[in-house]
Structure 1
């Protein structure tokens, strides 16, 4: 496997977990076109890796992601911006995060605003440090997000937890450890089932018949897998299962 190198983010693999760290700390990891292009490329790279079962997304420095780069927006308005790289843009990040087969955990270490808030919401699970702050400048159907959009206020991690926007709040120095512990717990489960669960959650259209059809298809695939045999054998042998994603 050829591992690509990146300039504005890093990808670290630990066992079955890949950690993407946005790396423009001086800009609170604001999304400019080169970073967006690398983010898409990293997601595509990881999506193709059968050995990676969970993805963590976080930010370097004090910010998780402060949204679109305002300086770049000004340059675009003034007609002085460099041409953006070809390929999907900033608005395609959220669906891309939901489209990759692996569950995504957002480890929100600081400011999460605008499109950065969208990246957090598009992740499957969100863990926030006590230093995390949230703000959005666009409307969403969820009541809490609508309040954020209409007021323009900045909200702390505890508020986000109370509103159900994040799953857990931990001390700042425990954030990545907590995210990795959760990722490893998920990664220890049968990979075929984990990927099927994510697909079922994100790809159904609200039609219960369609949901049941997708569930049946996912169950059929899992039923004939080596991992199902391993689950049965390990239960009978009273030992921890070792899943291979086959």
Structure 2
């Protein structure tokens, strides 16, 4: 029997664990398999007693191209499949933000939709200079997730957050840095080494102090972020079931043929 493909890999080197989205032929697009494998990898990294910091990155030409629209019919097939998909997407945000270890994003190529959301969930981000990030959800009739409705207005202000989410403006790495959404911009070949170096610096700090810092900071976000995750889940479920969303996704799929 051929083993099932693994869409997220965990590699630990000393005090740093690297979680890699590994579906490069689909630009690491988000499907059921990737969600399950990423959840398991993040839980394992967060629970590993030898890991002090985590790097989250993507294999191939992109960090993550967002939802895999080729799986849309399967995801939207029933109320149960819609609920399961939306819950598993939100679980990744909880894995990143509510675990004790700091997560350093290393993002390149495209970070679209859910991929952009996961970048915003990271504690620090190293961006390759070819990074392009945007939210395509509103054009497709989808809804943003990942706590973005709470996190993004805090970071960039209400009006700018509305612009980015509703209009889907594409931001390059330097624009993201000017908005305070990434910490470093480096050449592509330096992205992962820089992220590992940053994670190694984090790992050299007190494990107790950094865990407490993350707990305090996410606790401060807690009630609002938890509420945002639930409101987004419900809104995403409603959008999945909307006839207009089906038409928009079908039209987008035809345009790509």
Q: TM-score range by the shorter chain?
A: 0.7 to 0.9
**Does residue 90 in structure 1 map to residue 89 in structure 2?**
yes
- Render the CA deviation track for 1:69-109: whole Å, top value 9, x for unaligned: 11111344467xx9998995112211221111100001002
Aligned partner of 1:54 in structure 2 is 53
**Does residue 29 in structure 1 map to residue 23 in structure 2?**
no
**Does residue 170 in structure 1 map to residue 213 in structure 2?**
no
Kindly indicate whether structure 1 or structure 2 has the higher relative contact order, using CA contacts under 8 Å at least 6 residues apart: 2
Separation (CA, whole Å) in 1 of partners of 2:83 and 2:6: 16
**Paired residue secondary structure (1:44):** helix
Q: TM-score, normalised by structure 1?
A: 0.75
Give ranges in structure 2 of 5+ residues lacking alignment.
138-143, 224-257
Which protein shows a greater Rg? 1
Give ranges in structure 1 of 5+ residues lacking alignment.
208-246
**Paired residue secondary structure (1:40):** helix
- Render the CA deviation track for 1:110-142: whole Å, top value 9, x for unaligned: 210111111111111111000111001337352
Which of 189, 198, 201 is the equivalent residue of 1:182? 198
Decide whether the 8 Å contact of 1:37 with 1:85 is kept in 2.
Answer: no
Q: TM-score, normalised by structure 2?
A: 0.72
Shift of 1:200: 0.8
Supply the RMSD in Å over aligned alpha carbons.
2.6
Q: How many residues align?
A: 201
Judge which range, 144-153 or 118-127, deviates more. 144-153
Aligned partner of 2:112 in structure 1 is 113
Aligned partner of 1:104 in structure 2 is 103
**Does residue 155 in structure 1 map to residue 171 in structure 2?**
yes
